[in-house]
Amino acid sequence: MARIVNQPPRRRDAAASDESGRSGSAWRGFVVGAVVIVVVVVSLLLALRSFLFPVFEANSETARSAATAQAQLAAMQTQQALAPGPTAASTAAPIAQPTAAPTKAPTPAPAAQPAPVATRAPLATAISTPVLATVNGTPASLPTVSPELDRVISEAYLRYFQVRSEALLALDPEPLEKVAAGNELAALKIDIESDRAQGRALATDVQHQFNVVTVVGDSAVVADRYRDSSIYVDPITHAALPGQRQPSAPDMAPEVKLLYQLQLIDGTWKVVDGERVP
């Protein structure tokens, strides 16, 4: 007959059983802890959403409202700046004005007329005053010019006009330094440059009627009343330019009255200034 012996369980099986129990307990504890953590995190997120998001939205709405208001204010200021301000007539109280008598309409100013050809603007320096002697503010009798001095100055004056005529026709100012100086020389050079720029030259044709007025030291005055038939011509062919025509006779030419001042410079009488006389 078989014999049944009751033996105690082996230690390894017991240890395995205990380890299995502890593992199950640890897993359950982990699951429970994880569930708790998830619940806590979800609760925090809900709380944050419930309390913080409305605040953020309110702040954002306030900022948007402020920006909109500022933009509208800027637009209004810009429109006010561009709009014309009120004038004195519109802001001030109206003032009663006396009724004016009817007046005639103003006559329009006449149209500017072209300057006549072959004329020069008067020089700034008057030449007659410094050479006329006075006594207690009263003009004194001019000293008599000797025939010899009259002849020398007359020849110098006519030579000046001859060289001047050649220079204005050739548009060459260099020869003028032999017969002119001072303001007169500067004015003639300006005339030549102006004519050259306009593509023209001056053909001088004058009939002199002059006399030596006075001589004081190394200064002299010549008064000339001449008929001027000068015209502008082509600087190369010397043909008359369009619109230029000489008078049919010297008596029909314009009369020009001039006073010229001459000065003795290095032994030569030269014209140093000139002034048109009305």
List, for residues 25-68, the tens digit of each pLDDT value. Answer: 666 777 777 777 877 776 777 766 665 555 445 555 555 555 55
- DSSP of 215-247: EETTEEEEEEEEEE--EEE-TTT-PBPTT----
Which of the four pLDDT bands, split at 50, 70 and 90, describes residue 14? very low
Residue 270 burial (C-beta neighbours within 10 Å; 0-12, 13-18, 19+): buried
Q: Which pTM value belongs to this model? A: 0.52
